[in-house]
Structure 1
Amino acid sequence: MPASRRTLKVGVVQQQAWPDKAKSLAASEAAIRRLAADGAELVMLQELHASHYFCQTEDTDLFDLAEAIDGPTTQRLADLAAELELVIVGSIFERRAAGVYHNTAVVLDKASGLVGTFRKMHIPDDPGFYEKFYFTPGDAPSLQVPRRGFEPIDTSVGRLGVQVCWDQWYPEGARLMALAGAELLLYPTAIGWDPRDDEAEKARQKDAWTLIQRSHGVANGVPVIVANRVGHEADPSAVSDGIQFWGGSFICGPQGELLAHGGVAAEELLVEVDLARSEDVRRIWPYLRDRRIDAYGDLTERYRDR
């Protein structure tokens, strides 16, 4: 017998962003309000939605963009969540201490305000994506503080497995979230093309990005929510041609089936997700049951040298 139907109206905001925080956040707020008016219960914004993607170059002055966890961006989103009676997943450049900064997802609940955070765990360092200059990786669990790392966040609409951008390429994080009871996997993202790449290479990159995240849904039997930014952002150093962010935000079900898929322009996605389908899918595809946990110890090694 199928599990009881339990649906959730999920919204995704795909927007352009600017160095002007007021302008960027105004665009985010307008989109959230439109989704709320259409019945959204959960809305996710893209990575670093409050500013331009500043990691194209290394500039110490840009640390001034950072805020405390409970700073103005978080407070603005918390006020919106309370007013519109929904859950919002946002993104901030967090100043934790002098010299310690994080790329942090914040989760705001309609009745409880800030209910959880996730500090980006995997930090890239590639041409145009110099994130190691700006971001400290999130803390791993320890005996002193076990509830760190890949830990879902409980909200009024369900248990959310939130990660950030580069984390989306790693099946280990998705699996750990699922094993801790995450009902949805959510990935705020900032990814795009080098405009100099040819069309075939662009297609391969975007297809791989979509495929890896849909596969997390399949492998874990849970829906996946992805928000990416759009628009061209110039490289302030003029070393490159900047980044053309490709959009392509999507929502998929627990078998990787696409429920909504964005294009290359600013837009919102809204779809009703049946959370109970995860139970049905896991009954016929019991990957968690059949895992050989006794044979996976080497996964904690960097590489298996022979």
Structure 2
Amino acid sequence: MSKKINIGLVQMACTEDLEANLEKAIAGIREAAAKGAQIVCLQELFRSLYFCDVEDHHNFSLAEAIPGPTTARLGEVARETDTVIIASLFEKRAQGLYHNTTAVLDADGSYLGKYRKMHIPDDPGYYEKFYFTPGDLGYKVFETRYAKIGVLICWDQWYPEAARITSLMGAEILFYPTAIGWDTNETDPAVDQEQYNAWQMIQRGHAIANGVHVVAVNRVGREAEQQFWGGSFISNPHGSLLYLAPHDQEVVHVQEVDLDLTDKYRTTWPYFRDRRIDSYQPITKRYLDE
């Protein structure tokens, strides 16, 4: 059987209107499905503006249960369109306990499970530790109708350990719902370009090191003092770009990928074969002083 499948990504700008954001995302999923998409990934926290730019207790009202109302609606869309949907949401787990979580709906509309973001940033404009408890489900893969997928979230992108573990668990594709942008107070365009290049390159490095396709889906538009840089992309298992979205436009794109390339590249470049797992114990330390 052919291992070629169609990946859809929805790169969009958000507003304060939660329902409008959800309807735009659903319209994007339907458009992607009409173009042949079998798996569609939405950006991080697509239902709202990126609220983590401030520490405001009122923003906890944006959270919801997972599974819950949004996963129910998206499940209906998944079933109608025969698509797998990857949906990043603000999860209310219990009173005073919240996570940055991505749910996966299979192509029959069933809820397959969720991944809770493991690495939580705390930087100017990204005060996520105020809102999110670090994930406690571990790294996850999901056996969907079309492929076995791994899901990580935004800040997880900078950690090769997360990509490696998820790949070792059998993920055929790594998806990264994302919300990242440029500080509008930055006046040096070289700094902006360097930041974007680093973000893209490290994820293409994950593709190379693990021999898997990588899909990163970011948002666009200005929110507060962040200009979200879009630039969503799909990389093949050797780091070559199959698709690159613009920085300043909403876009729905569908890209065919060939999952058989994993075997080709892992055979030609046998990084998994040559791993020295007996020597990796130091990686579990915070820092090696001596």
Q: Which TM bucket (shorter chain)?
A: over 0.9
Aligned residue for 2:84?
87
Structure 1, gaps ≥5 residues long? 140-147, 235-241
Question: Where do 1:229-248 residues align within 5 Å?
Answer: 229-234=219-224, 242-248=225-231
Separation in 2 of the partners of 1:129 and 1:200?
21
Percent same amino acid among aligned pairs?
52
1:290 alignment counterpart: 274
Kept after mapping to 1: 8 A contact 2:6/2:254:
yes
CA distance in 2, matches of 1:5, 1:214: 24
TM-score, reference length from structure 1 = 0.93
Moved more, 39-48 or 68-77: 68-77
Cα separation, partners in 2 of 1:76 and 1:93, compared to 1, 3 Å: same
**Which of 190, 208, 215 is equivalent to 1:218?**
208
Query: 2:121 corresponds to which letter in structure 1?
Result: P
The answer to whether the 8 Å contact 2:64/2:91 transfers is yes
Rounded Cα–Cα distance in structure 2 between residues aligned with 1:303 and 1:227: 32
Report deviation, 1:151.
2.1
Which consecutive segments of 4 or more residues in structure 1 shift more than 4 A? none
Displacement of 1:81 in angstroms is 0.3
Please tell me the residue identity of whatever aligns with 1:287: Y
Question: What amino acid does structure 1 have at the position aligned with 2:239?
Answer: G
How many positions carry a matched residue from both structures?
A: 288
Q: Provide the secondary structure at the position in 2 that maps to 1:126.
A: coil
CA distance in 1, matches of 2:53, 2:185: 15
Q: Is the 8 A contact 2:40 2:83 kept in 1?
A: yes
Give, in whole Å, the separation in 1 of the partners of 2:177 and 2:104: 12
Alignment map for 1:151-170 (pairs within 5 Å): 151-170=140-159
1:5 CA drift (Å): 4.0
Comparing 16-25 with 185-194, greater Cα deviation is found at 16-25
- TM-score, reference length from structure 2: 0.98
What is the rounded CA distance, in whole Å, between the counterparts of 1:91 and 1:155 in structure 2?
17
Per-residue displacement from partner, 1:40-98 (whole Å, max 9, x unpaired)? 00000000000000000011111000000022211111110011111000011000001
Residue 113 of structure 1 deviates from its aligned partner by 1.2
| 8 Å Cα contact 1:152-1:177 kept in structure 2 | yes
Matched, 1:101 2:79: no
Question: Which residue is 1:183 aligned to?
Answer: 172
1:232-271 Cα deviation digits (max 9, x unpaired): 002xxxxxxx100000000110001100110021101211
Contact in 2 for aligned 1:50/1:73 (Cα 8 Å): no
Q: 1:191 corresponds to which letter in structure 2?
A: I
Amino acid at match of 1:244: Q
Please give the root-mean-square deviation of Cα atoms over the aligned residues, in Å.
Answer: 0.9
Residue segments in structure 2 that go unaligned for 5+ positions in a row:
none
Partner in structure 2 of residue 142 of structure 1: none
